[in-house]
Amino acid sequence: MRRILIALAAATVMTSAAAAGDEIKIGVMVGFTGPIESLAPNIAAGAELAIKEVSDSKALLSGAMVTPVRGDTTCIDAAAATAAAERLITADRVNAIVGGDCSGVTTAMLQNVAMPNGVVMISPSATSPALSTLDDNGLFFRTSPSDARQGQVIAEVLKERGVGTVAITYTNNDYGKGLADSIATNFKAVGGAVTIEAAHEDGKGDYAAEVAALAAAGGDVLVVAGYLDQGGKGIIQSALDTGAFDTFLLPDGMIGDSLVEAIGADLNGSFGTVPGTDSKGAATFVDLAAAAGFKAGPFNGEAYDAAALILLAMQAAGSADSGKLKDHVMAVANAPGEKIHPGDLGKALEIIAAGGDVDYVGASAVELIGAGESAGNYREIAIEDGKIVTVRYR
Amino acid sequence: MPPDLLNATILLGNYVVVPGVAYAAQLALGALGITLVFGVLRFANLAHGDLMAFGAMATVLATWQLQAWGVGLGPLPTALLALPLGILAAIAAALAADRLVFRFYRRRRSAPVTLVMASLGVMFVLNGVVRFIIGPGDRQFADGERFIVKAQEFKRATGLAEGLSIKTAQCLTVIIAIVTVVLLFRFLQRTRTGKSMRAYSDNEDLALLSGVNPERVALIAWTIAAALAAIAGALYGLDKSFKPFTYFQLLLPMFAAAILGGIGQPVGAIVGAVIVAFSEVAVTYAWKKFLYYLLPEAWRPDGLAQLLSTDYKFAVSFVILVLVLLIRPSGIFRGRVL
């Protein structure tokens, strides 16, 4: 029996070693279930678009094939996200991970699984300011900006629209709290007043009590730093029902077609911000996505960029090993070098292979600063006639 | 009335009275079911919350089917047509649970705590079945005219600074709850079966000696409790939103209401529900704006004048429960002691 087991173990080691030679696996971890489940499929599709492009180009590390492996973070359940990351890293043996999506689960995955195993994670959408200062052994990057930046942008938007007072409600987790604090600090700095900063729990049937407290505090606009498929939607519905607020400011977690459809015409006149640029890359990405059969939405370009950065860094390191590629992410993302837009990944791989330098711009005009996070470009949106329209870029 | 006083009244109506009354009606229907099962079958049925979820789920499914067929009630929600089906489904579930689980322990004359634990098991099973059939997420099934009075239109019509909104579902909840309660009390007071149930509840041995059939009494108690649960569940879902987990959360306020009123006492369940509902709403309500209208300028509060953050809403019923059990375990109307 023991001999059989040894033989079995040896066979497993050999097959996995053989697999590592010509196949590279990239984990794609977003919340396919949970409070942003309506956004998750297209975020994953964005990452998989870059993976397919690189795989088809046959230019990565002597023609390696790259396949995505999906994992569900649930967005809010740290235990489930940790288990999924564990499975991807130890069973599927992914080389690096695009994800996670929400800040809390991303932190959990990073600390519990990715760091002990030395696997690189690039998140397209974790925006909590706390992730900037986390000790990550150089393994964590994000193509989304920190909410410290989003807070500034939102404060500017509010001020330019002549809003004097706001009430803030946030989903009770790392993302919500970090963003709400950032908005409050920045809005006060530009002379605005915050009447109340109150948390709400996701997953309740009834938000009447929360809205009553917000209404008592008052304010011209209600800032809802929550999730569009969850408590955020419930708060907005209840606020409209009781006539407490009629204009809402929607940060990145609240932007999506499903919210506009669920609430209907009453949401017209509300506005918000979501990471995005009007760069050439963004437009190219929208076309690429359409060709691949999906409509580019929030964080899709960031996911494409996250996957692209991982693969370009592999090429620069000459290895699919996370421990080696982590030192090359910043170099391929920033100047100097040839500017790389979506769809040019094959070209970029060849430049790197030939010993050249690239400056990855991608779909979201990536410029990694500090500990490896995007400097931050935002799209200001408004809701008009039941549609999300772009006002301008910041 | 001076406009400030009017504004204050409307404000209170919009955020405290209207939601409070609807919530109280939903709790009362649930607490009545709990108190009835306790009175007749002598155990605290923890599965009652999930029985509500089951009845509501059947109502939601039937509503969707009716909507697909294009059958509706115009301005009224289609769910009203589907409700009888939800009631039948809940009764079937309750009777199945009784036949498969509770009857066994009842015949062995097990201690009440054994039955309570058995009901905990039934609760988990029902919980799983509901999620398996309809999923754990939010389900929308309300249709028809959403509002009777809309906040913005009310403001425009009256010229007041505060708006009042009354949802169709809230109004229906109160009407249906009143009708159900009246029917229930007539049944318990006037009919022969109702009287035999009360006799059985008062003194089991005497009732058995006078020829009351215990199985029949149990059957009727389950039927009524399940019907109440389905009505309460469907109305709660219609007013707020249908989500299986919220019914489990309702268990605590419902038990608090039943025990506060005096468990086993139907009137007590209603009074208890009103007190619990309004305590929850009033304690977590921020009174700032209300006081702002009523007090002279110098006295106006700077803070929110909120006793407890809304996160602690469920803690309110918990505190009520603990206080009642400590101070007056028999409840307001001298029910049994748990």
Quick check: B200 contacting A, CB < 8 Å? no
Q: DSSP letter string over A355-372?
A: T--EEE-TTTT--EETTT
**A196: confidence class by pLDDT, cuts 50, 70, 90:** confident
Nearest to A209 among B147, B236, B281 (CB): B281
Give the range among A96-100, A142-146, A203-207, B5-9 with minimum mean pLDDT: A203-207
Quick check: B313 contacting A, CB < 8 Å? yes
CB A194 within 8 A of CB A222: no
Whether A210 and B151 lie within 8 Å, measured CB to CB: no
Write out pLDDT tens, residues A109-151. Answer: 999 999 999 999 999 988 888 888 888 888 999 998 888 888 8
Cα–Cα dist A6/A11, whole Å: 8
What is the value of pTM for the model shown? 0.76
Nearest to A209 among B147, B154, B310 (CB): B310
Nearest to A203 among B151, B245, B304 (CB): B245
Tokens of B212: 């009351």
Alpha helix stretches (DSSP H) within chain B = 3-12, 18-41, 48-69, 79-97, 103-107, 112-134, 151-158, 168-190, 192-202, 204-209, 214-239, 244-261, 266-284, 288-294, 313-327
* Residue corresponding to tokens 């996200």: A81
**A86: confidence class by pLDDT, cuts 50, 70, 90:** very high
Give the chain A residue whose CA is nearest to the CA of B238.
A205
Q: Is residue B245 part of a domain?
A: yes
Q: What is the pLDDT of residue A152?
A: 87
Answer yes or no: is pLDDT of A18 > 70: no
Encode A274-283: b = buried (16+ Cβ within 10 Å), e = exposed: bbbbebebbe
Q: What is the pLDDT of residue B172?
A: 93
Rg (CA), chain A: 22
Mean pLDDT in residue range A322-342 = 88
Q: Is residue B217 part of a domain?
A: yes
CB A126 within 8 A of CB A29: no
Which carries the bigger pLDDT value, residue A9 or residue B187?
A: B187
Q: What is the pLDDT of residue B272?
A: 94
Tokens of B211: 């020829």
Q: Is residue B79 part of a domain?
A: yes
Mean pLDDT in residue range A225-239 = 87
Q: Is residue B85 part of a domain?
A: yes
CB A274 within 8 A of CB A328: no
**A20: confidence class by pLDDT, cuts 50, 70, 90:** very low
**A14: confidence class by pLDDT, cuts 50, 70, 90:** very low
Q: What is the pLDDT of residue A310?
A: 93
To the nearest whole angstrom, how far is the Cα of B302 from the nearest Cα of chain A? 10
Nearest to A112 by CA among A137, A133, A143, A81: A81
Residue-range definition of the domain harbouring residue B127:
22-250
To the nearest whole angstrom, how far is the Cα of A184 from the nearest Cα of chain B? 17
Nearest to B284 among A209, A217, A242 (CB): A209
CB contacts < 8 A (A, B): 81
**A337: confidence class by pLDDT, cuts 50, 70, 90:** confident
B-chain residues near A215 (CB < 8 A): 15, 289
A-chain residues near B251 (CB < 8 A): none
* Total number of domains constituting chain B: 1
Nearest to A154 by CA among A132, A170, A174: A170
Give chain B's residues under pLDDT 70.
1, 337-338
* Residue A124 three-state SS: coil
Give the chain A residue whose CA is nearest to the CA of B153.
A243
Q: Which domains does chain A have, with CATH numbers?
A: 2-145+279-374 (3.40.50.2300), 148-275+377-393 (3.40.50.2300)
**Candidates B148, B310, B311, B312, partner chain A, best to mutate (most A CBs within 10 A):** B310
Q: Is residue B38 part of a domain?
A: yes
Give the range among A334-338, A385-389, B219-223, B301-305 with minimum mean pLDDT: B301-305
The pairing of beta strand A368-369 with beta strand A373-374: antiparallel
Q: What are phi and psi of A167, to 5 degrees?
A: -105, 140
**A15: confidence class by pLDDT, cuts 50, 70, 90:** very low
Q: Is residue B31 part of a domain?
A: yes
Give the range among A95-109, A380-394, B117-131 with minimum mean pLDDT: A380-394
- Angle A269-A275-A280 (CA atoms, 0-180°, nearest 5)? 110
Q: Is residue B107 part of a domain?
A: yes
Q: What is the pLDDT of residue A16?
A: 45
Whether B165 and A213 lie within 8 Å, measured CB to CB: no
Q: Is residue B9 part of a domain?
A: no
Nearest to B167 among A198, A234, A241 (CB): A241
Whether A243 and B151 lie within 8 Å, measured CB to CB: yes
Give the chain B residue whose CA is nearest to the CA of A231.
B138
Which carries the bigger pLDDT value, residue A145 or residue A47?
A: A47
Quick check: B139 contacting A, CB < 8 Å? no
Q: DSSP letter string over B13-47?
A: IIIIIHHHHHHHHHHHHHHHHHHHHHHHH-S--TT
Nearest to B14 among A196, A198, A242 (CB): A242
**A2: confidence class by pLDDT, cuts 50, 70, 90:** low
How many other CB atoms sit within 10 Å of the CB of residue B233?
33
Share of chain A above pLDDT 70, in %: 94
**A6: confidence class by pLDDT, cuts 50, 70, 90:** low
Q: Which residues of A touch B (CB under 8 A)?
A: 172, 196, 198-201, 203-206, 208-210, 212-213, 215-218, 234, 241-243, 246
Which carries the bigger pLDDT value, residue B183 or residue A386?
A: B183
Q: What is the pLDDT of residue A164?
A: 87
What's the ipTM?
Answer: 0.78
Whether A203 and B150 lie within 8 Å, measured CB to CB: no
